[in-house]
Amino acid sequence: MLPTAAAAAMPWDRRAPEREGPPSAWSLLPEDLAARGCPGRPEHVFARLQRVRTWQPDRLFVAREIRAWLADHTDQSLPAILERHPSYDGSTKLVLGLADGQRIEAVHMPRHEADHRVTYCVSSQVGCALGCTFCATGAMGIVRNLTAGEIVGQVLALMRDLGPRCGESVHLVFMGMGEPLHNLDHVHRAVTVLCHPEGAGLSPWRITVSTAGLVSGIERLARMVPRPQLAVSVNATTDAARSATMPVNRAWNLARLRQALDAWELKRHERFIFEYVLLAGVNDTLEDADRLADWLGDLRHRHNVNLIPMNEHPHSPFRGPGEQRLQAFAARLHQHGCFITVRRSRSRDVQGACGQLVKQREAAVG
Ligand code: SAH
Ligand code: SF4
């Protein structure tokens, strides 16, 4: 493992922009509204702002005095939905525009008829600093972090546009553009706002933060309240292969990553999610499956492994493994007692891999 100083020298940290003008209304908790002198009952104002199903831009259903205060003291703009790409599998991939013209991607994934769950896959950054060689977002480099207001605004914009329908429970996964643990303060603030019972009322059990293995972030998140669920993108089983495809492994290798997971105390109902993107000829052998099971060790009873065939795109030379390899890999893990889900990327037909639509447009505009 490289010393921590090497990690510190890497271009991880791209702070969210300092906003000029008033703060985003979507990042303020009731206590923040009170501290800033908002008239009326802060919980009530917060609830009106956040409960998007009753919210209309021109009818906030609060007293005129409060509306005027909010207009003067907060920014109530939401990210704009610029493009909708519905997929044959029922999911919709969206491109959203931020106030400074940057673009991010999100995916709306309803389950099938009988299942009353809807999952939103959301972004935490514009681009990403980690540069994984199979990832379209990684090919963009890091542009900037999203603010907490932009993250909450992204979720509210999706809710207003596409549901949830009555009775659906909302699940949130930070598996869109960016490395959420590189933007942990804003991501955690957004999770806190979204889980407030007077607001959107999401549950931290239904929010998953996916990381490429940023150990410093995992160790911080482990102690945070509310604490969302953790997903870790493993994607290789030797340090040589992992460092070649995921530069973050040069700072925190597989052993150090495993150590951080040992220190994360799982609550009774919790499981780790491990993601494993299969790249043909790189990490898809039966020996890889054996090493993966070995690395999981005693976590094998408290996890789910998501096997994801590489979603091919022009910014990466890697290819998917083919059905036979995928099945053989899954079967081998199953023999080792692992719990497996094969996740064929939703909305594959509409450039399902995160960052692909934004990256594609970047290339088109030069
Ligand atoms: N930065 C975080 C979360 C965003 S990426 C992370 O890396 O975990 C979300 C998931 O998409 C990760 O598991 C990543 O390995 C996977 N991914 C990235 N590019 C992909 C591609 N081209 N095909 C399939 N999965 C991909
Ligand atoms: Fe960043 Fe995740 Fe893509 Fe790696 S896979 S470049 S960490 S978004």
Atom of ligand 1 nearest to the CA of 318: 22
The whole-chain average pLDDT of the chain stands at: 88
Ligand 2 proximity of 330 Cβ (cutoff 6 Å): no
Pairing type for strands 80-86 and 92-97 reads antiparallel
Cα separation, 139 vs 129, in Å, equals 9
**Sheet hosting strand 117-121, strand order edge to edge:** 80-86, 92-97, 103-110, 117-121, 169-174, 207-211, 229-233, 272-278, 303-309, 340-342
Residue 351 token pair:
């450039």
Q: How confident is the model at residue 37 (pLDDT cuts 50, 70, 90)?
A: very high
pLDDT tens readout for residues 290-302: 999 999 998 877 8
Give the active site residue among 105, 150, 179, 275. 105
What confidence tens digit (pLDDT) does each residue in 126-171 have?
999 999 999 999 999 999 999 999 999 999 999 888 876 656 688 9
Ligand 2 nearest-atom number relative to CA 210: 2
Q: How remote is the CA of residue 6 from the centroid of ligand 2, in Å?
A: 19
The alpha helices in the chain, defined as continuous H runs, are: 4-9, 30-35, 42-50, 64-73, 136-140, 148-162, 184-194, 215-221, 239-245, 254-263, 286-296, 323-335, 356-364
Q: Is the CB of 230 under 6 A from ligand 1?
A: no
Q: How far apart are the C-alpha atoms of 64 and 56, rounded to whole Å?
A: 15
For the stretch 325-352, pLDDT in tens is 999 999 999 999 999 999 876 555 555 5
> What is residue 353's predicted lDDT score, i.e. its pLDDT?
61
- Alpha-carbon distance values, 358 to 177, 228, 309, 362 (Å): 10, 27, 21, 6
- Which residue is listed with tokens 């997903």? 231
Q: How far apart are CA 179 and CA 187, in angstroms?
A: 10
Query: Cα dist. 341→146, 155, 232 in Å?
Result: 30, 26, 14
Q: Report all structural domains of the chain as residue ranges with CATH numbers, in order of start.
A: 4-16+78-350 (3.20.20.70), 29-73 (no CATH)
User: In this structure, what token pair is assigned to residue 5?
Assistant: 């100083």
Ligand 1 contact via 308 beta carbon (within 6 Å): yes
pLDDT tens profile 228-278: 999 999 999 999 999 999 999 999 999 999 999 999 999 988 999 999 999
**Token representation of residue 152:** 């909450």
**In this structure, how many other beta carbons lie within 10 angstroms of the beta carbon of residue 286?**
14
Total-model pTM: 0.93
Report the distance separating Cα 178 and Cα 106, nearest Å.
11
User: CA-based diameter of the chain, in Å?
Assistant: 67
Cα 238 from Cα 221, distance rounded (Å): 26
Percent of the chain with pLDDT over 90: 72
Distance between CA atoms of 292 and 311, rounded to whole angstroms? Answer: 21
Q: What is the pLDDT of residue 33?
A: 97
Query: What is the structure's pLDDT at 9?
Result: 39
Which of 68, 97, 73, 80 has its CA nearest to residue 21? Answer: 73
121 a catalytic residue: no
Substitution site in 134, 172, 304, 356 for ligand 1 pocket (most atoms within 8 Å of beta carbon) = 134
Write phi, then psi, for 30 (nearest 5 degrees). -50, -40
Q: Is the pLDDT of residue 120 over 60?
A: yes
The pLDDT, as a whole number, for residue 2 is 35
Q: What are the tokens at 27?
A: 């990042």
Integer Cα distance of 110 and 169 in angstroms = 10
Identify which has the larger pLDDT, 310 or 89: 310
